């Protein structure tokens, strides 16, 4: 397992100085755009851009159906990793068939989003190759919408994630639809901590089922050598209630807090790199294939 150090060294004393997430982000390279691909603010769920109704209907279905029992069932089913055997780049190419119905910012095939975010990070962090690769693979779990991988409805694959087994925090987008979720009025699941205890670690919290948890499972079970921060990013990059509002932070342990610094770095590129300016796939392919060979086996079980 690769170890990364979040911090810098005071050469005079030889001691590591801890950095916060803002210090990790470089400010002179990747410029944050003011508008998304449709000319609206990013993550604007009220903008009338032709996708508003599609996105809201997505979250309505997600919030009604993502129950504690459903998540346990999905994890048990997909832990078998019996759907396919293929390499990482082969999986990237499958994403040409996927457009994310939950995304108000982009309607391009997902392989472009992966490469846009990876190339933006590569520009600012040229020496952190594990982070480039994490960006490339972070959304590969969206293959769950394809028939070969179960053909799951998009509400069970994409969109913001949230813990199940505890109260649904009001910071969740379109929170109103949780009122129709069977767990909403269940006293076992509807308190602040629910079935969990504070400081238990996010690894012990069941998240709504989707591409994040699935890709984390695939990477871990296939023996990736990505650092723990990379796996943390893959698993929680859609956890916007935590990213943006600090919701559910009572469950984090010390390792989560350290990895969260890198997630905050990644989030900038995941969200703001979305563009109608497309990456030349064949030009960058050799570089990413070299990273795949470094951190993953040639074939993975999915």
Is 165 assigned a ligand-binding role in the annotation?
no
Neighbour count for residue 257 (Cβ, 10 Å)? 10
Is 270 assigned a ligand-binding role in the annotation?
yes
Q: Are 187 and 194 in contact (CB under 8 A)?
A: no
Nearest one of 56, 51, 50 to 173, comparing CA atoms = 56
Instruction: State the residue for tokens 């269940």.
Output: 186
- DSSP percent split of the chain into helix, strand, coil, nearest 5: 50, 5, 45
Is 159 assigned a ligand-binding role in the annotation?
yes
Is 53 assigned a ligand-binding role in the annotation?
no
H/E element, 72: helix 68-78
Is 235 assigned a ligand-binding role in the annotation?
no
Is 142 assigned a ligand-binding role in the annotation?
yes
Give residues with Cβ within 8 angstroms of 12, minimum separation 6. Answer: none
3-state SS, residue 16: strand
64: its two tokens:
């009604």
Is 20 assigned a ligand-binding role in the annotation?
no
Is 43 assigned a ligand-binding role in the annotation?
yes
C-alpha to C-alpha distances, 296 to 23, 157, 228, 239, 293, nearest whole angstrom? 30, 23, 14, 25, 6
- Residue 158 CA to residue 145 CA, distance in Å, equals 9
Is 102 assigned a ligand-binding role in the annotation?
yes
Is 156 assigned a ligand-binding role in the annotation?
no
Is 199 assigned a ligand-binding role in the annotation?
no
H/E element, 85: strand 85-86
Is 192 assigned a ligand-binding role in the annotation?
no
Feature table: binding site: 43, 100-102, 113, 138-139, 142, 159-160, 211, 237-238, 270
Feature table: binding site for Fe cation: 113, 138-139, 211, 237, 270
Feature table: binding site for substrate: 43, 100-102, 142, 159-160, 237-238
């Amino acid at each position: 397992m690769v170890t990364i150090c979040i911090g810098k060294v005071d050469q005079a004393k030889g001691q590591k100085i801890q950095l916060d997430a803002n210090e990790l982000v470089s400010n002179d390279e990747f410029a944050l755009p003011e508008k998304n691909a449709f000319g609206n603010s990013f993550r604007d769920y009220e903008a009338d851009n032709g996708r508003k109704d599609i996105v809201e209907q997505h979250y309505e279905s997600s919030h009604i159906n993502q129950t504690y029992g459903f998540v346990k069932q999905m994890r048990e089913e997909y832990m078998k990793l019996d759907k396919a055997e293929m390499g990482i780049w082969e999986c990237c190419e499958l994403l040409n068939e996927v457009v994310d119905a939950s995304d108000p910012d982009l309607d391009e095939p997902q392989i472009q989003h992966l490469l846009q975010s990876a190339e933006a990070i590569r520009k600012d962090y040229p020496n952190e190759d594990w982070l480039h690769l994490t960006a490339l693979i972070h959304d590969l779990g969206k293959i769950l919408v394809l028939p070969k991988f179960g053909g799951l409805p998009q509400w069970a694959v994409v969109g913001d994630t949230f813990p199940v087994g505890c109260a649904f925090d009001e910071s969740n987008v379109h929170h109103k639809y949780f009122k129709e979720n069977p767990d909403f009025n269940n006293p076992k699941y509807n308190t602040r901590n629910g079935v969990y205890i504070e400081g238990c670690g996010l690894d012990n919290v069941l998240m709504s089922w989707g591409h994040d948890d699935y890709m984390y499972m695939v990477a871990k079970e296939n023996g990736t050598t990505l650092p723990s921060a990379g796996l943390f990013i893959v698993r929680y990059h859609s956890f916007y209630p935590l990213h943006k509002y600090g919701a559910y932070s009572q469950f984090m342990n010390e390792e989560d807090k350290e990895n969260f610094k890198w997630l905050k770095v990644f989030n900038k590129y995941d969200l703001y790199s979305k563009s109608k300016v497309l990456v030349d796939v064949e030009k960058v392919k050799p570089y990413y294939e070299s990273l795949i060979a470094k951190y993953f086996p040639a074939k993975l079980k999915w």
